[in-house]
Structure 1
Amino acid sequence: MDLMRAADRLWPVLNRVAKGHTAVYRATGGRVGHRFPGAPPMLLLDHVGARSGVGRTTPLVYVQDGESIVIVASKGGHPKHPAWYHNLRANPDTTIQVGSERRPVRARVARPDERGRLWSKAVATYGGYQGYKERTEREIPLVVLDPRSGARAPDHA
């Protein structure tokens, strides 16, 4: 069995783990799930389905870049982009939870002039991204979450 077929079989399990992670993160106000010993920091990304319109939440590794946050649409080196990436392209205004803080943000794909610097920061935060890049033929998008001034995050997604 090739690596991608094995990965496709693993996604349902990973989705269940992500739902549990999200539930614990929210229930503890980010005290559990934001940081684990020896692991990069995690946030919760709220996003709306591009076709379904259904609200979803996904835990993701993040990189702080000034006032903005960067997330990596790697999907573990899978040949296709993650669903949340397509959802953010369709609905870029969203919220994130970083620890106990909920923030309104606007998503955008990193510009070519910032991509190299941001990729280096992402790999320094989580070295696995480099292996994902080598595993796939697609360019892995870097998504910048810029603060939305004047917007207020909802109490809960």
Structure 2
Amino acid sequence: MSARTATARFLGSRRWIMRLAPAIVRVDRHLHRLTGGRVTLLRLAGLPTVRLTTVGRRSGARRETQLLCLPVPGAVVVVGSNWGRPRDPGWAHNLRARPDAAVTVDGRTIPVRAREVRGAEYERLWERLLRYWPGYGAEREWAGRPLPVFVLDLRRSA
């Protein structure tokens, strides 16, 4: 693990960082726009990310969110931590209502089908996610709720 990644993992479990979430999201959004998606704060830290595009469950509008992800064969796993806040993020509600979405990685957009995991699969993935990003444990504690976990199955375009 690189020093940048180790530092990011350390900072990711600090509550004061969560208070900076709005500013971090704004900076990341600007970096993404300015570089055509080639640079994000998580990527600078050496962490894999996806830009998730969902459709708003009520508005029908396209919504984009940059997320840390755990790559697995044929899919990516994302967590609805919402920076340790008590409510699930909007994108999680959108995926529950409309599981067909897209992820953009390295400027390439790939359609995905989301499924929220539960039960034994959740527990198995949760342990793996905690090893990958220990901050999820702190975020779950701060949020006071189980954090939803979604597997985004990559679909090949026809």
Give the TM-score category using the shorter length.
Answer: 0.7 to 0.9
Distance 1:123 1:40, change over 3 A: farther
In 2: Cα distance, 1:110 partner to 1:21 partner? 31
In 2: Cα distance, 1:36 partner to 1:120 partner? 25
**Would you say the 8 A contact 2:32–2:38 is kept in 1?**
no
In 2: Cα distance, 1:14 partner to 1:35 partner? 13
Corresponding residue to 1:13 among 14, 20, 23 = 23
Corresponding residue to 1:35 among 12, 37, 43 = 43
In 1: Cα distance, 2:64 partner to 2:51 partner? 6
Distance 1:126 1:81, change over 3 A: same
In 1: Cα distance, 2:79 partner to 2:130 partner? 10
Q: How does 1:67-82 map to 2 (within 5 A)?
A: 67-82=74-89
Does residue 1:63 correspond to 2:58, yes or no? no
Q: CA deviation at 1:121?
A: 2.1
Q: Which runs of 4+ in 1 moved over 6 A?
A: none
Comparing both structures, which one devotes a greater share of its residues to helix? Answer: 2
Scaled by the length of structure 2, what TM-score is found?
0.77
Alpha-carbon RMSD across the aligned residues, in angstroms, is: 2.3
- Structure-2 residue corresponding to 1:155: none
Q: 1:17 is matched by which residue type in structure 2?
A: V
Does residue 1:125 correspond to 2:125, yes or no? no
In 2: Cα distance, 1:125 partner to 1:113 partner? 18
Distance 1:98 1:124, change over 3 A: farther
Q: CA deviation at 1:15?
A: 4.0
| Percent of paired sites with the same residue | 37
**Would you say the 8 A contact 1:40–1:125 is kept in 2?**
no
Scaled by the length of structure 1, what TM-score is found?
0.78
Give deviations 1:103-129, integer Å, cap 9, x for gaps: 110111013121122112222222211
- Structure-2 residue corresponding to 1:135: 142
Does residue 1:96 correspond to 2:103, yes or no? yes
Give deviations 1:45-70, integer Å, cap 9, x for gaps: 01111111111111000001221110
Q: CA deviation at 1:32?
A: 2.2
**Would you say the 8 A contact 2:49–2:105 is kept in 1?**
yes
Q: CA deviation at 1:141?
A: 0.3
